[in-house]
């Protein structure tokens, strides 16, 4: 019997800072909690530095959090969006670009912070306490879609590329906070 694998795609601009960090952190959270392996987390960029590694500053922060820094920049395309069950973006502009590529993805595309905010209080009394994250991806996306309310300026994560160490640390903190909430919901922890 083959287990269905849920596809999560994380998107930013160059795919060397925010999206690979978020993807690595989410994959690490799911792996540390004994997730059933039914969730694949990938990343891409709207103007990717194709083949480039994660930036040194972001790589240092990701490694300190115990996540993998193995990465090669990848360009966002229709196929990646179409195959994703959930798309998480760094900014609302990235979300718009995803939906422009695949209009039908609007119901499953959110910024990282937006998705964390919208699912923070989600409780599924039928869910196990851990594992089976793959089965929860579409449930959470539908829940978040039904509660979507714009909060201008609150859902973007600033691009630290070319910035200071403080810029990277601020972006990483925002990513880490959002990913922590999202991972908990995917694993069935209550809000």
Ranking 6-15, 63-72, 106-115, 116-125 by mean pLDDT, the lowest is 116-125
Q: What angle do CA 129, 132, 134 make, to 5 degrees?
A: 135
- Closest of 114, 174, 124, 180 to residue 147, by C-alpha: 114
The verdict on residue 1 lying in a domain is: no
The verdict on residue 66 lying in a domain is: yes
User: What residues does 6 pair with on adjacent strands?
Assistant: 39
What is the residue range of 32's domain?
6-186
The verdict on residue 191 lying in a domain is: no
Give the CA distances from residue 90 to residues 10, 57, 138, in Å, rounded to whole numbers and listed in that order: 8, 17, 20
Residue 3 pLDDT: 53
**More confident site: 189 or 142:** 142
The verdict on residue 178 lying in a domain is: yes
The verdict on residue 52 lying in a domain is: yes
- Say which residues have a Cβ less than 8 Å from residue 7's Cβ, sequence separation at least 6: 39, 40, 42, 83, 84, 85, 86
| Number of structural domains the chain divides into | 1
CATH for 84: 3.40.50.2300
Model confidence at 1: pLDDT above 90: no
Residue 129: pLDDT band (50, 70, 90) is very low
The verdict on residue 139 lying in a domain is: yes
Average pLDDT value over all residues in the chain = 90
Place of tokens 């306490």: 129
> pTM of this prediction?
0.92
The verdict on residue 31 lying in a domain is: yes
pLDDT tens digits for 170-191?
A: 999 999 999 999 999 988 865 4
Percent of the chain exceeding pLDDT 90 equals 76
Ranking 24-38, 51-65, 100-114, 152-166 by mean pLDDT, the lowest is 24-38
Ranking 26-40, 51-65, 91-105, 155-169 by mean pLDDT, the lowest is 26-40
The verdict on residue 100 lying in a domain is: yes
């Amino acid at each position: 019997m083959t287990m269905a694998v849920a596809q999560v795609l994380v998107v930013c601009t160059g795919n060397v800072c925010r999206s690979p960090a978020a993807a690595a952190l989410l994959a690490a959270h799911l792996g540390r909690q004994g997730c059933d392996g039914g969730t694949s987390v990938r990343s891409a960029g709207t103007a990717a530095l194709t083949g480039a590694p994660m930036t040194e500053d972001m790589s240092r922060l990701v490694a300190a959090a115990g996540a993998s820094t193995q990465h090669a920049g990848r360009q966002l395309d229709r196929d990646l969006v179409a195959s994703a069950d959930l798309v998480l973006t760094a900014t609302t502009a990235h979300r718009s670009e995803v939906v422009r590529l695949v209009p039908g993805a609007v119901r499953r595309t959110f910024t990282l912070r937006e998705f964390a905010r919208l699912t923070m209080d989600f409780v599924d009394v039928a869910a196990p306490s851990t594992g089976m994250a793959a089965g929860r991806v579409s449930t959470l996306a539908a829940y978040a879609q039904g509660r979507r309310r714009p909060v201008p300026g609150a859902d973007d994560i600033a691009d630290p590329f070319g910035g200071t160490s403080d810029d990277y640390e601020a972006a990483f903190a925002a990513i880490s906070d959002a990913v922590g909430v999202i991972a908990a919901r995917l694993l069935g922890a209550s809000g």
